[in-house]
Amino acid sequence: MSNKIRVIVSGAGGRMGKEVVRLVLQDDELELAAAVDRSAGDSDAGRLVGLEDCGVRVTSDLEAALAGVAADVLVDFTIPQSAYTNTALAIKYGVRPVIGTTGFTPEQIAELDKQCQEQEIGGLIAPNFSIGAILLMKFAAQAAKYFPHLEIIEYHGDQKLDAPSGTAIKTAEMISEARQELRQGHPEEEEIIEGSRGGYYNGFRIHSVRLPGVFAQEEVVFGGFGQSLKIRHDSYERAGYMPGVKMGIQKVMGYTGLVYGFEHFIE
Ligand code: NAD
Protein backbone atom coordinates (compact mmCIF):
# COMPACT_ATOMS: atom_id res chain seq x y z
CA MET A 1 0.00 0.00 0.00
CA SER A 2 1.44 3.36 -1.07
CA ASN A 3 1.84 5.98 1.65
CA LYS A 4 1.51 8.83 -0.82
CA ILE A 5 -1.13 11.46 -0.08
CA ARG A 6 -3.94 10.97 -2.58
CA VAL A 7 -5.17 14.30 -3.95
CA ILE A 8 -8.26 15.32 -5.89
CA VAL A 9 -7.78 18.61 -7.78
CA SER A 10 -10.89 20.66 -8.41
CA GLY A 11 -10.64 23.45 -10.99
CA ALA A 12 -7.93 21.31 -12.65
CA GLY A 13 -8.28 23.12 -15.98
CA GLY A 14 -7.85 26.61 -14.51
CA ARG A 15 -4.64 28.64 -14.20
CA MET A 16 -3.97 27.64 -10.57
CA GLY A 17 -5.52 24.17 -10.91
CA LYS A 18 -3.11 23.24 -13.72
CA GLU A 19 -0.16 24.20 -11.52
CA VAL A 20 -1.56 21.97 -8.77
CA VAL A 21 -2.01 19.02 -11.16
CA ARG A 22 1.61 19.51 -12.29
CA LEU A 23 2.78 19.65 -8.65
CA VAL A 24 0.92 16.47 -7.71
CA LEU A 25 2.07 14.51 -10.78
CA GLN A 26 5.70 15.53 -10.31
CA ASP A 27 5.95 15.06 -6.53
CA ASP A 28 6.96 11.63 -5.18
CA GLU A 29 4.96 12.12 -1.98
CA LEU A 30 1.68 12.93 -3.75
CA GLU A 31 -0.61 10.97 -6.04
CA LEU A 32 -3.37 12.29 -8.30
CA ALA A 33 -6.62 10.52 -7.29
CA ALA A 34 -8.91 12.56 -9.57
CA ALA A 35 -9.02 15.80 -11.53
CA VAL A 36 -12.28 17.73 -11.83
CA ASP A 37 -13.15 20.77 -13.88
CA ARG A 38 -16.61 21.64 -15.02
CA SER A 39 -15.42 23.03 -18.35
CA ALA A 40 -12.08 21.39 -19.21
CA GLY A 41 -13.60 18.67 -21.45
CA ASP A 42 -12.67 14.98 -21.42
CA SER A 43 -8.87 14.85 -21.41
CA ASP A 44 -6.04 13.08 -19.63
CA ALA A 45 -4.99 15.26 -16.67
CA GLY A 46 -1.28 14.88 -17.49
CA ARG A 47 -1.81 15.90 -21.10
CA LEU A 48 -3.96 18.86 -20.01
CA VAL A 49 -0.99 20.34 -18.13
CA GLY A 50 1.62 19.59 -20.79
CA LEU A 51 3.01 16.40 -19.22
CA GLU A 52 2.77 12.74 -20.30
CA ASP A 53 -0.58 10.96 -20.02
CA CYS A 54 -1.06 9.88 -16.40
CA GLY A 55 -4.16 7.69 -16.73
CA VAL A 56 -6.46 10.05 -14.79
CA ARG A 57 -9.22 11.61 -16.92
CA VAL A 58 -10.53 15.06 -16.10
CA THR A 59 -14.19 14.73 -15.14
CA SER A 60 -16.83 17.36 -14.44
CA ASP A 61 -18.66 16.08 -11.33
CA LEU A 62 -16.86 16.55 -8.02
CA GLU A 63 -19.31 14.47 -5.98
CA ALA A 64 -18.94 11.50 -8.37
CA ALA A 65 -15.15 11.78 -8.00
CA LEU A 66 -15.35 11.94 -4.19
CA ALA A 67 -17.67 8.91 -4.14
CA GLY A 68 -15.66 6.97 -6.74
CA VAL A 69 -12.02 7.15 -5.56
CA ALA A 70 -10.16 6.82 -2.27
CA ALA A 71 -8.65 10.23 -1.55
CA ASP A 72 -7.06 12.07 1.38
CA VAL A 73 -7.17 15.70 0.27
CA LEU A 74 -9.18 17.94 -2.07
CA VAL A 75 -7.32 20.96 -3.46
CA ASP A 76 -9.80 23.50 -4.84
CA PHE A 77 -9.01 26.52 -7.02
CA THR A 78 -12.36 27.20 -8.70
CA ILE A 79 -14.68 30.19 -8.32
CA PRO A 80 -16.11 31.84 -5.20
CA GLN A 81 -19.65 30.66 -6.10
CA SER A 82 -18.61 26.97 -5.97
CA ALA A 83 -16.06 27.02 -3.20
CA TYR A 84 -18.37 26.55 -0.21
CA THR A 85 -20.31 23.67 -1.80
CA ASN A 86 -17.11 21.94 -2.93
CA THR A 87 -15.55 22.24 0.52
CA ALA A 88 -18.65 20.94 2.30
CA LEU A 89 -18.86 18.02 -0.16
CA ALA A 90 -15.24 17.02 0.48
CA ILE A 91 -15.77 17.11 4.24
CA LYS A 92 -18.93 14.98 3.88
CA TYR A 93 -16.80 12.30 2.18
CA GLY A 94 -14.05 12.55 4.85
CA VAL A 95 -11.64 14.19 2.37
CA ARG A 96 -9.57 17.04 3.86
CA PRO A 97 -10.11 20.35 2.02
CA VAL A 98 -7.16 22.57 1.06
CA ILE A 99 -8.85 25.59 -0.49
CA GLY A 100 -7.25 28.43 -2.40
CA THR A 101 -10.47 29.82 -3.85
CA THR A 102 -11.32 33.19 -2.36
CA GLY A 103 -14.61 34.65 -1.18
CA PHE A 104 -15.66 32.75 1.98
CA THR A 105 -17.71 34.60 4.61
CA PRO A 106 -16.80 34.30 8.33
CA GLU A 107 -20.09 32.39 8.87
CA GLN A 108 -19.20 29.86 6.16
CA ILE A 109 -15.73 29.38 7.66
CA ALA A 110 -17.23 28.76 11.11
CA GLU A 111 -19.72 26.26 9.66
CA LEU A 112 -16.99 24.39 7.73
CA ASP A 113 -14.85 24.26 10.86
CA LYS A 114 -17.77 22.61 12.67
CA GLN A 115 -18.14 20.07 9.86
CA CYS A 116 -14.39 19.27 9.97
CA GLN A 117 -14.59 18.79 13.74
CA GLU A 118 -17.57 16.45 13.37
CA GLN A 119 -15.75 14.37 10.75
CA GLU A 120 -12.52 14.56 12.77
CA ILE A 121 -10.47 15.77 9.82
CA GLY A 122 -8.23 18.76 9.15
CA GLY A 123 -8.93 21.48 6.61
CA LEU A 124 -7.31 24.67 5.33
CA ILE A 125 -8.67 27.76 3.61
CA ALA A 126 -5.79 30.00 2.52
CA PRO A 127 -6.48 33.17 0.52
CA ASN A 128 -2.71 33.40 -0.10
CA PHE A 129 -0.43 30.37 -0.44
CA SER A 130 2.70 32.39 -1.16
CA ILE A 131 5.19 31.73 1.65
CA GLY A 132 7.15 34.87 0.68
CA ALA A 133 4.06 37.10 0.83
CA ILE A 134 3.14 35.70 4.26
CA LEU A 135 6.68 36.31 5.51
CA LEU A 136 6.50 39.90 4.21
CA MET A 137 3.32 40.45 6.25
CA LYS A 138 4.92 39.02 9.39
CA PHE A 139 8.16 40.99 8.98
CA ALA A 140 6.22 44.19 8.24
CA ALA A 141 4.07 43.76 11.36
CA GLN A 142 7.21 43.27 13.43
CA ALA A 143 8.94 46.32 11.90
CA ALA A 144 5.85 48.50 12.47
CA LYS A 145 6.40 48.23 16.23
CA TYR A 146 9.63 50.20 15.79
CA PHE A 147 8.83 52.15 12.60
CA PRO A 148 5.20 53.33 12.85
CA HIS A 149 5.55 55.58 9.78
CA LEU A 150 5.02 53.47 6.67
CA GLU A 151 3.42 53.23 3.26
CA ILE A 152 2.34 50.09 1.40
CA ILE A 153 2.82 49.93 -2.37
CA GLU A 154 1.39 46.99 -4.29
CA TYR A 155 1.85 46.24 -8.02
CA HIS A 156 -0.43 44.05 -10.17
CA GLY A 157 -1.37 43.58 -13.83
CA ASP A 158 -3.56 46.25 -15.40
CA GLN A 159 -6.57 43.92 -15.73
CA LYS A 160 -7.00 43.42 -11.99
CA LEU A 161 -10.43 44.69 -10.95
CA ASP A 162 -10.06 45.33 -7.22
CA ALA A 163 -7.73 47.75 -5.43
CA PRO A 164 -5.98 47.50 -3.13
CA SER A 165 -5.19 43.78 -3.46
CA GLY A 166 -6.43 41.33 -0.84
CA THR A 167 -2.81 40.73 0.16
CA ALA A 168 -2.23 44.46 0.75
CA ILE A 169 -5.38 44.66 2.89
CA LYS A 170 -4.24 41.66 4.92
CA THR A 171 -0.78 43.24 5.30
CA ALA A 172 -2.41 46.47 6.50
CA GLU A 173 -4.51 44.56 9.02
CA MET A 174 -1.51 42.69 10.43
CA ILE A 175 0.52 45.91 10.62
CA SER A 176 -2.34 47.67 12.42
CA GLU A 177 -2.48 44.98 15.10
CA ALA A 178 1.17 45.62 15.95
CA ARG A 179 1.51 49.38 15.32
CA GLN A 180 0.72 52.18 17.77
CA GLU A 181 -2.17 54.40 16.71
CA LEU A 182 -0.81 57.23 14.61
CA ARG A 183 -2.08 59.41 11.81
CA GLN A 184 0.96 60.00 9.62
CA GLY A 185 1.91 62.97 7.50
CA HIS A 186 1.13 66.66 7.86
CA PRO A 187 -2.32 67.24 9.42
CA GLU A 188 -3.04 69.86 6.77
CA GLU A 189 -1.72 67.99 3.75
CA GLU A 190 -3.79 68.53 0.63
CA GLU A 191 -4.15 66.51 -2.56
CA ILE A 192 -3.72 68.71 -5.63
CA ILE A 193 -4.68 65.71 -7.77
CA GLU A 194 -7.29 63.44 -6.18
CA GLY A 195 -5.89 60.11 -5.00
CA SER A 196 -2.25 61.25 -5.01
CA ARG A 197 -1.71 60.11 -1.43
CA GLY A 198 -3.25 56.67 -1.99
CA GLY A 199 -5.90 54.89 0.05
CA TYR A 200 -6.17 55.75 3.75
CA TYR A 201 -6.07 52.87 6.24
CA ASN A 202 -5.77 53.38 10.00
CA GLY A 203 -3.42 56.35 9.75
CA PHE A 204 -1.22 55.17 6.85
CA ARG A 205 -1.53 54.91 3.06
CA ILE A 206 -1.80 52.12 0.52
CA HIS A 207 -0.87 52.70 -3.15
CA SER A 208 -1.98 50.40 -5.99
CA VAL A 209 0.08 50.36 -9.19
CA ARG A 210 -1.54 48.67 -12.24
CA LEU A 211 0.66 47.94 -15.25
CA PRO A 212 0.76 45.35 -18.05
CA GLY A 213 3.49 42.75 -17.59
CA VAL A 214 3.39 42.86 -13.79
CA PHE A 215 2.31 39.69 -11.93
CA ALA A 216 2.24 40.55 -8.18
CA GLN A 217 4.61 42.58 -6.05
CA GLU A 218 4.30 44.27 -2.70
CA GLU A 219 6.53 46.66 -0.84
CA VAL A 220 6.26 48.17 2.63
CA VAL A 221 8.41 51.27 3.06
CA PHE A 222 9.16 52.39 6.61
CA GLY A 223 10.60 55.81 7.39
CA GLY A 224 12.40 56.80 10.60
CA PHE A 225 14.77 59.60 11.59
CA GLY A 226 17.90 59.27 9.44
CA GLN A 227 16.96 55.85 8.09
CA SER A 228 14.43 53.88 6.09
CA LEU A 229 13.60 50.21 5.75
CA LYS A 230 12.01 48.49 2.75
CA ILE A 231 10.49 45.03 2.80
CA ARG A 232 9.56 43.72 -0.62
CA HIS A 233 8.16 40.55 -2.16
CA ASP A 234 8.06 39.77 -5.89
CA SER A 235 5.88 37.04 -7.37
CA TYR A 236 6.75 36.15 -10.95
CA GLU A 237 4.41 33.23 -11.72
CA ARG A 238 1.73 30.92 -10.30
CA ALA A 239 4.23 28.11 -9.68
CA GLY A 240 5.45 30.25 -6.76
CA TYR A 241 2.31 29.31 -4.81
CA MET A 242 2.99 25.57 -5.06
CA PRO A 243 5.44 25.08 -2.15
CA GLY A 244 2.70 26.56 0.05
CA VAL A 245 0.05 24.29 -1.47
CA LYS A 246 2.28 21.22 -0.88
CA MET A 247 2.86 22.29 2.73
CA GLY A 248 -0.91 22.74 3.19
CA ILE A 249 -1.60 19.26 1.78
CA GLN A 250 0.87 17.73 4.24
CA LYS A 251 -0.26 19.79 7.24
CA VAL A 252 -3.99 18.98 6.97
CA MET A 253 -3.15 15.31 7.42
CA GLY A 254 -2.01 16.02 10.99
CA TYR A 255 -4.75 17.96 12.83
CA THR A 256 -8.51 18.26 13.28
CA GLY A 257 -10.60 21.35 12.46
CA LEU A 258 -10.37 24.10 9.87
CA VAL A 259 -7.44 26.53 9.78
CA TYR A 260 -8.12 29.87 8.03
CA GLY A 261 -4.99 31.58 6.70
CA PHE A 262 -1.62 30.15 5.74
CA GLU A 263 0.15 32.47 8.20
CA HIS A 264 -0.77 30.03 10.99
CA PHE A 265 1.71 27.53 9.50
CA ILE A 266 4.61 29.98 9.31
CA GLU A 267 6.41 30.49 12.63
P1 NAD B 1 -9.38 30.23 -13.43
O2 NAD B 1 -10.60 30.94 -13.93
O3 NAD B 1 -8.18 30.18 -14.32
O4 NAD B 1 -9.77 28.72 -13.07
C5 NAD B 1 -10.94 28.31 -12.41
C6 NAD B 1 -11.31 26.93 -12.95
O7 NAD B 1 -12.33 26.38 -12.13
C8 NAD B 1 -11.85 26.96 -14.38
O9 NAD B 1 -11.15 26.02 -15.18
C10 NAD B 1 -13.34 26.55 -14.22
O11 NAD B 1 -13.81 25.78 -15.30
C12 NAD B 1 -13.26 25.71 -12.95
N13 NAD B 1 -14.52 25.63 -12.19
C14 NAD B 1 -15.36 26.62 -11.90
N15 NAD B 1 -16.36 26.14 -11.12
C16 NAD B 1 -16.13 24.83 -10.92
C17 NAD B 1 -16.79 23.80 -10.22
N18 NAD B 1 -17.93 24.04 -9.56
N19 NAD B 1 -16.24 22.56 -10.20
C20 NAD B 1 -15.11 22.32 -10.88
N21 NAD B 1 -14.43 23.25 -11.59
C22 NAD B 1 -14.93 24.49 -11.61
O23 NAD B 1 -9.03 30.90 -12.02
P24 NAD B 1 -7.62 30.91 -11.24
O25 NAD B 1 -6.82 32.09 -11.66
O26 NAD B 1 -7.01 29.56 -11.31
O27 NAD B 1 -8.13 31.20 -9.75
C28 NAD B 1 -9.01 30.32 -9.09
C29 NAD B 1 -9.31 30.83 -7.68
O30 NAD B 1 -8.10 30.82 -6.91
C31 NAD B 1 -9.82 32.28 -7.61
O32 NAD B 1 -10.78 32.37 -6.57
C33 NAD B 1 -8.57 33.08 -7.27
O34 NAD B 1 -8.89 34.29 -6.59
C35 NAD B 1 -7.90 32.11 -6.33
N36 NAD B 1 -6.43 32.28 -6.17
C37 NAD B 1 -5.95 31.99 -4.94
C38 NAD B 1 -4.57 32.03 -4.70
C39 NAD B 1 -4.06 31.66 -3.34
O40 NAD B 1 -2.85 31.77 -3.07
N41 NAD B 1 -4.93 31.18 -2.45
C42 NAD B 1 -3.69 32.38 -5.74
C43 NAD B 1 -4.23 32.67 -7.00
C44 NAD B 1 -5.61 32.60 -7.21
Round to whole Å and give the CA distance between 249 and 182: 40
Give the tens place of pLDDT for each residue, 215-230.
999 999 999 999 999 9
With beta carbons less than 8 A apart as the criterion, state whether 63 and 73 touch: no
Q: How far is CA 98 from CA 20, 111, 135, 251, 265, in A?
A: 11, 16, 20, 10, 13
Residue positions annotated with a catalytic role = 156, 160
With beta carbons less than 8 A apart as the criterion, state whether 66 and 59 touch: no
- Ligand 1, atom 12, lies closest to the CA of 11
21 CA → ligand 1 middle, Å? 13
pLDDT on residue 1: 63
Which atom of ligand 1 sits closest to the CA of residue 130?
Answer: 40
Give the tens place of pLDDT for each residue, 68-120.
999 999 999 999 999 999 999 999 999 999 999 988 999 999 999 999 999 99
pLDDT at 40 exceeding the cut of 90 = no
| Average pLDDT of every residue of the chain | 96
* Residue 129 known to bind ligand: yes
Q: What are the structural domains of the chain? A: 5-125+239-265 (3.40.50.720), 131-236 (3.30.360.10)
78 CA → ligand 1 middle, Å? 3
* Residue 53 known to bind ligand: no
* Residue 33 known to bind ligand: no
Please tell me whether the overall predicted TM-score, pTM, comes out greater than 0.85 for this model. Answer: yes
Which atom of ligand 1 sits closest to the CA of residue 13?
Answer: 9
* Residue 248 known to bind ligand: no
208 CA → ligand 1 middle, Å? 23
Give the tens place of pLDDT for each residue, 249-266.
999 999 999 999 999 999
Strand partners, 81: none
pLDDT at 211 exceeding the cut of 80 = yes
What sign results for the dihedral spanned by CA atoms 117, 120, 122, 127?
Answer: negative
Q: pLDDT band for position 42 (50/70/90)?
A: confident
- Ligand 1, atom 42, lies closest to the CA of 128
pLDDT on residue 89: 98
Which atom of ligand 1 sits closest to the CA of residue 36?
Answer: 20
pLDDT at 204 exceeding the cut of 90 = yes
Average of pLDDT values for 194-203?
96
- Ligand 1, atom 43, lies closest to the CA of 16
